[in-house]
Structure 1
Amino acid sequence: MQLPIQSQSTLYAEPWEADAGPGELVAVARAADRAGFAYVASCDHVAVPRRLADAMSTIWYDPVATLAYLAGVTERVRLLSHVAVVGLRHPLVTAKQYATLDHLSGGRLILGVGAGHVAEEFEAVGADFARRGAVLDESIDALRAALGADEFPVHHGKLYDFEGLGQRPRPAQERVPVWVGGSSPAAVRRAALRGDGWLPQGDPRERLPEQIARLYRIREEAGISAPLVVGAITEPLYVGTPGWHVGRRTVSGAPEAVAESLRAYRAVGVHQIQVRFRARGLSELVDQITAFGADVAPHLN
């Protein structure tokens, strides 16, 4: 699940999150950890321009700091950046941050990456917004080297060039998974050619089969046979019968009914689903996470 509180876009934030902070964030992460969730995720924006602030808000916690903080209060749940806008930083800076996170968490990092969409954010830090797709492509290649086993990684590219520079600690994992976010044709192609996984951004169920078929077609044409983790973001969920209006798109009802709806994702080739629960406060959200882990998840496998 994408964590609440750490990003508060009006597209998905619940009203109670505005007054929440570290304590509530820890409670949610621990609940997900206990309930057997695969990962918790945190977003990435350095700065939000005034023209977008009303819709996006300016509340965007730093993902490395947030995930490292939560690594210390959880035991097994993995830590996903969904997504790190890696074009805002030099790959060696990104590698230093996330290698340290993986090292400190005992190998729980999943590095989700994306191209970004806010021009002013790129301009403010001196990054190239117009060429952000090409920057991301090479950044992934550079990060593969910088997050590998070699203490002195080597990358010679058009944009980044490094050799003979040591970075420790190394990641705890032999290979840090890199999941590519985005649903544009360029993003799907990038995920197919460079990713260990694909994180679609809001594709409705009916569009997923076409997107997934394209992913595998591109990989086959490129001769790539390695496994690819295909994800999906579900509709909002509510386990049980809500006593309040949870929205017409929300999937709700008995655990078996919620599970039946979600199993349709597996049928079209999805391997992992990211869920978001409707809740009026922290206690209701924790109850929803707990109920999902105990009563819905067993029906998914």
Structure 2
Amino acid sequence: MSYGIQLPIQSLSTLYAEGWEARAGPADLLAVARAADRHGFAYIACCDHVAVPRRLAAAMGTVWYDPVATLSYLAAATERVLLLSHVAVAGLRHPLVTAKQYATLDHLSGGRLVLGVGAGHVPEEFAALGVDFAGRGALLDETIDALKAALGEEEFPAFHGRRFDFADLGQAPRPARRPRPPLWVGGSSPAAVRRAAERGDGWLPQGDPRDRLPGRIARLRAIRTAAGIAEPAVIGAIAEPLYVGAPTWPVGRRTLTGPGERLAESLRAYRAMGVDQVQLRFRSRDRDELTDQIAAFAAEVAPYLDD
């Protein structure tokens, strides 16, 4: 079972951001990304919102780094870690624009892109960009289909859909990953699970509790089988907050704490459900504590994950 991390600092939602992140900047973001790269994390991830309405700003914050710019910046400073958009609200942009941006990122990073996409949830954001919020599900379905064509091996991709229609339009550079970068679908609604099953290379559930994951994984696999798709989807999960070792400060009752073997035993339960990769979030009071936690996980927990 592989593991990755949603980067701190690049989004400051009150649901998960630590207090120190509001005072942090690019140097701190870079240090965390390099720590994840150095210590064997499978991916680093960045969120996506173009604009946050005032009514949601108190909870969501307005700090949401652009994922293409952020992951490109970090690609140049890392060597092997995958670069995941978790998730890009793909329906807000024409698929040729998205393909141009992410193909360039994949090309520059030597094939390290994983394109995670989701439907979005903020009506005002869609309205400001002239996109129909109510129809965002069907829009994302077609956008994914168009992206598969646009990110494939053809320099002049072709796609003919209800909303998007293109052919004889060349885009280069092409992605380094062949036949195309992986495309993971985010969301836990029935529609999102269906979308991931029928169209995705992977599924990114959004914080599903442990007792709900097995049923959704079974449904995804059943839909995929019924659709005649032989290739298994990469199944993800977002773990509870973690703190490796014995914390000396209040880390919250939901946080998993303790020695490496105990934490690994808890995380292996995800593998038993059919999860292939788990996203981690560490409690921390500053950048150094976070990078220390990343190092501690790699040294004390990771060796026991596949026992």
Paired with 1:74 and 1:225, the residues of 2 have a C-alpha distance of 33
Shift of 1:294: 1.3
The share of aligned pairs that are identical, in percent, is 74
Amino acid at match of 1:272: Q
Q: TM-score, normalised by structure 2?
A: 0.98
| Aligned partner (choices 100, 109, 121) of residue 104 of structure 2 | 100
Q: Which runs of 5+ in 2 are unaligned?
A: none
| Aligned partner (choices 253, 264, 270) of residue 265 of structure 1 | 270
Amino acid at match of 1:167: Q
Equivalent residue number for residue 295 of structure 1? 300
| Aligned partner (choices 215, 221, 225) of residue 220 of structure 1 | 225
Equivalent residue number for residue 57 of structure 2? 53
Equivalent residue number for residue 18 of structure 2? 14
1:246 pairs with 2:251: yes
Paired with 1:96 and 1:169, the residues of 2 have a C-alpha distance of 8
Shift of 1:266: 0.2
The size of the alignment, in residue pairs, is 301
Q: What RMSD, in angstroms, separates the aligned Cα atoms of the two structures?
A: 0.5
Shift of 1:89: 0.3
The residue matched to 2:235 in structure 1 has which SS? Answer: strand
Amino acid at match of 2:87: V
Equivalent residue number for residue 163 of structure 1? 167
Shift of 1:227: 1.8
Shift of 1:224: 1.2
Shift of 1:223: 1.3
Q: Which runs of 5+ in 1 are unaligned?
A: none
Equivalent residue number for residue 69 of structure 1? 73
The residue matched to 1:205 in structure 2 has which SS? Answer: coil
| Aligned partner (choices 118, 139, 151) of residue 122 of structure 2 | 118
Paired with 1:172 and 1:146, the residues of 2 have a C-alpha distance of 13
| Aligned partner (choices 199, 202, 217) of residue 197 of structure 1 | 202
Shift of 1:126: 1.0
The residue matched to 1:6 in structure 2 has which SS? Answer: coil
Paired with 1:146 and 1:42, the residues of 2 have a C-alpha distance of 22
The residue matched to 2:114 in structure 1 has which SS? Answer: strand
Per-residue displacement from partner, 1:156-186 (whole Å, max 9, x unpaired)? 0000000010000000001210000000000
Paired with 1:29 and 1:149, the residues of 2 have a C-alpha distance of 30
Equivalent residue number for residue 176 of structure 1? 181
Equivalent residue number for residue 154 of structure 1? 158
Paired with 1:210 and 1:66, the residues of 2 have a C-alpha distance of 35
The residue matched to 1:84 in structure 2 has which SS? Answer: strand
Q: TM-score, normalised by structure 1?
A: 0.99
- List structure 1 runs of 4+ shifted beyond 3 angstroms: none
Equivalent residue number for residue 213 of structure 2? 208
Equivalent residue number for residue 130 of structure 1? 134
Amino acid at match of 2:49: H
